[in-house]
Structure 1
């Protein structure tokens, strides 16, 4: 495939050459890739997030909540996709993917690199963390109120310690989703058999593994934050017992949402963007 030469423009003030080839279309590709991935994964993430919130508050069991959401998707899809909960989830992930894609486009532009170039540096981590955490905290505050305990749902603000725990949780997830896969990919590639590589590449394997594995660490932070809202004034031993009780099943549930969010979603976003950028380069 022939690759078009970069349309390099000179920044006279900085003395740098930028790759501005088809920049407007590249920004469009960033948005289309991000929204496609977000639309694909948002339904299951919405159902799982709602289930975890309702289970933590005692309003419903995790299983029953998931079953209720699945039935609504199948029998009343218009109602499900029209709910604020779905819109909040779609906004979080489309915004996060757009930010990650935009960092790659900015990097390829100012560094005068091919337009399909990706990066895994600190700038990408801080930008995607800021986007995901900002949007995610707002979403979590609304979900906590919408699906919290019946006695407190929507009646009071989410406490600052809960926001702090959610922030640390999201930093761990974003780092494992956007930075670790690039670091782990060469190690996966060296250890994966050629037979396995026929079905899944090292990059995709790392993209699935890293964000899922980190949930074993981040889930207790998530549950602790929810319990601070749902049961204010509870003693430390009681809170620890509750978090310990729900940790394992909630960790697997969060893996079930993280794998679509940053595994499937991350792979779809990356592949759609790479393919579309490749067409722009040809």
Structure 2
């Protein structure tokens, strides 16, 4: 009898109130973040890969993509590269959001509460890695060396470098900001936080900072596909800058938008 009573008490502690609507809010927040960041990320990813393959310079590639977005937006927004990027970030943020919703359901915490533990890292990393490796495979083939007569398979070592790169980025994007936010709050002061919250500052800076370490892995992976030799040192500074410019909107702006939209939607349900 005691065990049955305990089981009933555990079930009562779960907060399943409006669970379907909460998952819908998770999806809407992830979609808003994905739509917002996908155009810029598409241009930057294409530029980095074309620059690494020698197909185009980073600047010329960015300018060509910007012209297409401005003059032929329907073509840009319905293209395969944009779709791949949107699906990548929608899937990543939706996974993170649903982990938070599952945690608030099981622990009966506020609907908009977030987590920063191992389950969230593992789930978000798995989702991001699967989607990102597929995206990288397609981008590398689409925008690789122009002289290639056909798209070659991406070698396993390239996937391994990309995997470590993405694990570093995901950890810095979803797990480190909640941990570093109190430190940012202590050093920013009340005046600065009137303009940018400590949580938002941490969300912007930690994913960008990790690119200093992860960019060489990205370039090594691309060089293994593009050419026998490597040019990591030559391209590191330019590519690291481009990847920081990519990550700040992807997990900085996107992370803040996802969090604020989700919090606003769930606040209406509470």
TM-score above 0.5, yes or no = yes
Superposition map of 1:120-139 within 5 A: 120-139=116-135
2:165 pairs with one of 159, 165, 169 = 169
Query: For this pair of structures, how many residues does the alignment match?
Result: 265
TM-score (normalised: structure 1): 0.91
C-alpha distance in 1, partners of 2:90/2:55? 29
C-alpha distance in 2, partners of 1:207/1:92? 19
1:263 pairs with one of 241, 249, 252 = 252
Structure 1 unmatched runs, 5+: 1-9
C-alpha distance in 2, partners of 1:105/1:52? 35
1:74 pairs with one of 65, 70, 80 = 70
Match of 1:276 in 2: 265
> Is residue 154 of structure 2 the alignment partner of residue 158 of structure 1?
yes
Shift of 1:16: 6.0
Match of 1:218 in 2: 214
Match of 2:34 in 1: 38
C-alpha distance in 2, partners of 1:154/1:105? 44
Cα deviation 1:187-223 (Å, max 9, x = unaligned): 0000002221111000000000000000000000000
Structure 2 unmatched runs, 5+: 1-5
SS of the residue 1:158 aligns to? coil
SS of the residue 2:13 aligns to? strand
- Greater than 6 Å deviation, 4+ residue runs: none
Superposition map of 1:78-97 within 5 A: 78-97=74-93
Instruction: Point out the structure with the larger helix share.
Output: 2
Answer whether contact 2:84 2:135 (CA < 8 A) is retained: yes
Shift of 1:111: 1.1
C-alpha distance in 1, partners of 2:11/2:179? 32
SS of the residue 2:109 aligns to? coil
Match of 1:193 in 2: 189
RMSD: 1.4
1:23–1:154 distance in 2 versus 1, CA, 3 Å: farther
SS of the residue 2:158 aligns to? helix
C-alpha distance in 2, partners of 1:152/1:32? 40
C-alpha distance in 2, partners of 1:114/1:273? 12
Answer whether contact 1:37 1:94 (CA < 8 A) is retained: yes
